[in-house]
Amino acid sequence: MTIKEKGYSHWDGEFIVKKFPWWPITRYGIKLTFMRKLFKFTLPMSLLPAVFFLTGIYISERLEDFPFLRGETSQFLQINPNYFKVYFTQGFMLFIMLMIVIFCGASLISDDLKHNSLQLYFSRPLKKKDYFLGKTAVIVFFLFIITLIPGLVFFIMKLVFSGSLKFFISYPWLPLSIIGYSFIVTGFFSFYALLLSSLSKNRRLVAILIFGIYMLSDIIYLIFRSEFRSHYFSLVSLRANLQQVGAHIFGQKTPYDIPWIFSFLVLLGICVFAGFVLKSKVKGVEVVK
Amino acid sequence: MKPIVETKNLSKWYGNVLGLSDVTLQIEPGITGILGPNGAGKSTFLKLITGQIKPNIGTVKIKGQKIWNNYRLFSIIGFCPEQDFFYEEITGWQFVTSLLKLHHFSESEVETRAQKALEIVELVEDKDRVIRSYSHGMRQRLKFAQAIAHDPEIIVLDEPLSGLDPLGRRKIIHLIKSYKGEGRTIIVSSHVLPEIEAMTKRIILIHQGKIFAQGDIHYIRDLIDTHPHIISIKCSNARQLASKFIQQDYVLKVHFSSSNDSLLIETNNRDKLFSLLPSLFIENKIEVDEITSPDDNLQAVFDYLVGK
Amino acid sequence: MNQKNTGRLSFFLDSVKNVYSIFLSMGRRAKKTKIFFLFSFLPVVIAFIIKFNQIFSGRGKIQGIYIFSNLIVVFYLQFLILILALFFGTSVASEETEGQTLIYLTTRPISKSAIVLGKYSAYTTLVILMMSVGVLLSFLILNVNNLGNFSLYKILLRDVVVLGLGLICYTAFFTFLGAFLKKSIIVGLVFSFGWENVIQYFPGSTQRFSIIHYLKSLLPAPRTGRFSFLMFRLEPSPTGTAIFMLFLITVIFLCLACILFSQKEYILED
């Protein structure tokens, strides 16, 4: 059969690239997370530590009104970078972040793998970079609600309650620390969650892996520390690494007797590894062997 | 003939959404087609009669027994669901044999029946491949295999032809028709009228959760044939073409689009109009870009029948 | 009548057995099982590293069985069995509804209770096997220079039994949770690592509202030392009571799971 005429014509229209092609992915991810009934309860609960710390800042400026809080508690009520470090790096806060990450991050890629929707994403003018950015922004959005925003609010409220710029003059770098650590902790958790989310189509399995690996790293550290009595084993623990880096960023003594940069490199290494895995795992077409 | 499936005032809703409303009917042995547009309530009806969901109001009886939580009835029922979901990590063979084991057959009988079912759907060669590597058509046939493997008396098939190529479709239709001869009750749903037409004359029309009509397909066909059809033609010289059409007595109306490059023709004899088209185009040297029939779908038929 | 009942029971047990064999075989091959097997194999690696260090650094003062006992509490009792039971327990119902494969099981001539019990038994067998292999290998590695001491095997047996009981009980609880809630993992995690952890530090009868209390009651209190805080404030129940309570909890939650799974209408999303 002779084909006399080609059945297609070259498209000569203008290719319009949207400025933020990742935004619809983020918006949908955020909307989907908010649709979960349990999350509507969890998110306000996760802000309780922030409310508690904010109350501390208020009381610190009104100690004369709370005479019974003087004495032992007065140390707690000294608002300095350590106060911020405690908020950001305490184990409970990291645990809350982990739970938030499970809520909003576990299904981010695994659901796309399960429903074969990656090819739908990549059949649009969307690059892999945009896809990852869109997914990461979902986690970043929720983690910023409990890290960056409360941190900055604490700082501003401290200035407002004290009615002077003395605190800012004493610690002008503190806002940068808050921003820096918020980016590090959310960046790490985003890569960590997306890495695990890309490994399985089973959302429940991903949720357990996100939680399990975090806990496991801590358990292994505890066992080795008790056996080898070396602080270097804290590098195994995700929690310890986040605390170590956090302490340095807030200009405090690091909890483990090892250079903080090692912890930072471990976290960075995990993110780089996650990047490589994500790049190879997230494909428009899946070849089934 | 004694009805096999009986429903009485059957109603089901999901929150505020009505799935099925006040359905009372009886289904006798033979093939019964459940026809309706997407979202009409076909799947809800099939899930109710197979005991997958509980009715909010009304009752479902299979051979005189209530179906909800009456697992014993499933030794005579085979169900092919619409959804394309499987235990993806096992092979087709393991899938069929595993489900047959649940029918309490002996090991050898399980193998014989699985082999037979996979032969019927022509999946024997691929039986040892994991299901996740199956094509859509193969998955559809595998679903069919698990529904017939235990030789059930009642076979319920929810959209069994969706995703199949024309050859596969013909095979399944042939297979379903062959079961009819064995005195079984086959209930098959579809939103494609010709598909159901190829299998049975007995149909149930479901629309917006209600039984709209029940009986012989010829009745519906007659209604459809007298239904004025609209045909859209996008061409080089619409007005010249229109002048030819208005000379035909079966053309009721002709409309022009605002851009004058297409016309809508309303006719009460679609077949005659279609047979006229080629000669008209050639004789008048009209270049045609597109011919469509905007209302040639089940929804339009239903809209017409309900007088919208 | 009696014969009829016996017939029904044997039919039911046969159904459970069939479901059990299908899901044991399916579970064995599943990717998720391999991932969790890796998890449960980690203590073996830890034990190997510790032993290797002891041998080559010449610092072998701490007895292998002491480290083993700590590994049982820290790694297995407070972490691994919870994770295994949570995932596999909730899988009994959730994987069928999430994967929309429930329809294939509920259109068979078997009761829904048989599906629950069959799957529960299959997954419990899998997790017990996973845990036992890890425990056995860790034991052998840590006590490699003392394998002739038969009293140690008693400890091994006791620990395996306690962990096995834990898995049976927790998996039953999570089977119920999976049948009850659509999103059971988060609630399960909060229960496992929140409730079960916090309540054991409460004095009096409060700690009896946790499963871990009965499991810890079956283990000897550790000597004062590095890990003693894990048993802090434990007011143990007598062995008989603890075993009875674990079985009672298992039976109650399995019955509840069966009733719920039979009566609940699972609407699979299209």
Residues from chain B that touch A288, judged by Cβ atoms under 8 A, are 132-133
Q: Which two tokens stand for residue B283?
A: 């004789």
Asked whether residue A160 is assigned to any structural domain, the reply reads yes
Q: Which two tokens stand for residue B150?
A: 């235990």
Residues from chain B that touch C30, judged by Cβ atoms under 8 A, are 89
pLDDT tens, per residue, chain A with 289 residues = 555 555 666 767 777 777 888 899 999 999 999 988 888 888 999 999 999 999 989 888 877 676 666 666 566 678 889 999 999 999 999 999 999 999 999 999 999 988 888 888 888 888 889 999 999 999 999 999 999 999 999 999 999 988 888 899 999 999 999 999 999 999 999 999 999 999 998 899 999 999 999 999 999 999 888 888 888 999 999 999 999 999 999 999 999 999 999 999 999 999 999 999 999 888 766 655 5
Among C46, C70, C186, whose Cβ lies nearest the Cβ of A38?
A: C186
Asked whether residue A33 is assigned to any structural domain, the reply reads yes
Task: Tell me what pLDDT residue A70 has.
Answer: 63
Q: Residues 196-235, chain C: which have Cβ within 8 Å of A?
A: 226-227
Between chains, do B83 and C103 touch, taking CB under 8 Å as contact? yes
In 3-state terms, what secondary structure has residue B16? coil
Task: Tell me what pLDDT residue B129 has.
Answer: 95
Distance CA B88, CA C26 (A): 10
Mutate to test the interface with A, among B84, B129, B132 (most CBs of A within 10 A): B132
Interface contact A265, partner C, CB < 8 A: no
Distance CA B191, CA A205 (A): 37
pLDDT tens string B244-284: 888 888 888 888 877 778 888 888 877 788 888 888 888 88
pLDDT tens string B6-43: 999 999 988 888 889 999 999 999 999 998 888 889 99
Task: Tell the residue number behind the tokens 């700590």, with chain if given.
Answer: C70
Between chains, do C98 and A203 touch, taking CB under 8 Å as contact? yes
According to the CATH classification, is domain B5-223 in 3.40.50.300? Answer: yes
Integer CA distances (angstroms), C23 to A283, B266, C123, C125, C165, in order? 31, 60, 8, 10, 21
C259 to chain B: nearest residue by CA? B69
Asked whether residue A190 is assigned to any structural domain, the reply reads yes
Residues from chain B that touch C29, judged by Cβ atoms under 8 A, are 89-90
B130 to chain A: nearest residue by CA? A289
Interface contact C187, partner A, CB < 8 A: yes
Residues from chain C that touch A102, judged by Cβ atoms under 8 A, are 185-186, 189
Interface contact C107, partner B, CB < 8 A: yes
Between chains, do B52 and C103 touch, taking CB under 8 Å as contact? yes
Between chains, do B74 and C265 touch, taking CB under 8 Å as contact? no
Asked whether residue A37 is assigned to any structural domain, the reply reads yes
Q: Which two tokens stand for residue B175?
A: 């297979």
CATH 3.40.50.300 intervals, chain B: 5-223
According to the CATH classification, is domain B229-305 in 3.40.50.10540? Answer: no
Asked whether residue A12 is assigned to any structural domain, the reply reads no
Task: Tell me what pLDDT residue C165 has.
Answer: 97
Our count of domains for chain A comes to 1
pLDDT tens string B199-242: 888 889 898 888 888 887 777 766 666 667 788 888 878 888 88
Q: Residues 9-48, chain C: which have Cβ within 8 Å of A?
A: 31-32, 35, 39, 42, 46
Among B81, B89, B101, whose Cβ lies nearest the Cβ of C30?
A: B89
Interface contact C75, partner A, CB < 8 A: yes
Among C26, C103, C262, whose Cβ lies nearest the Cβ of B79?
A: C103
Interface contact C256, partner B, CB < 8 A: no
pLDDT above 60 for B61: yes
DSSP for B147-206?
A: HHTT--SEEEEESTTTT--HHHHHHHHHHHHHHHTTT-EEEEEES-HHHHHHH-SEEEEE
Between chains, do A289 and B133 touch, taking CB under 8 Å as contact? yes
pLDDT tens string B294-304: 655 555 666 66
Provide the H-helix boundaries in B6-148: 42-49, 92-101, 107-120, 136-148
C17 to chain B: nearest residue by CA? B102
Asked whether residue A17 is assigned to any structural domain, the reply reads no
Q: What is the mean pLDDT of each run of 10 residues along chain C (270 residues)?
A: 76 95 93 90 90 76 80 90 96 92 94 96 96 94 86 92 97 96 90 87 81 90 52 75 96 97 81
Task: Tell me what pLDDT residue C70 has.
Answer: 85
Domain that holds residue A230: 23-281
Whether the complex's predicted ipTM is more than 0.95 is answered with no
What angle do helix axes A91-105 and A203-228 make, rounded to 10 degrees? 150
Between chains, do C270 and B83 touch, taking CB under 8 Å as contact? yes
Most distant CA atoms of chain C, gap in Å: 73
Distance CA C119, CA C21 (A): 9
CB within 8 Å of C199: residues ≥ 6 apart: C206, C207, C209, C210, C213
Residues from chain A that touch B133, judged by Cβ atoms under 8 A, are 288-289
Task: Tell me what pLDDT residue B300 has.
Answer: 63
Task: Tell me what pLDDT residue A9 has.
Answer: 66
Interface contact C82, partner A, CB < 8 A: no
Interface contact A287, partner B, CB < 8 A: no
Interface contact A222, partner C, CB < 8 A: yes
Asked whether residue A13 is assigned to any structural domain, the reply reads no
Asked whether residue A55 is assigned to any structural domain, the reply reads yes
Interface contact A289, partner B, CB < 8 A: yes
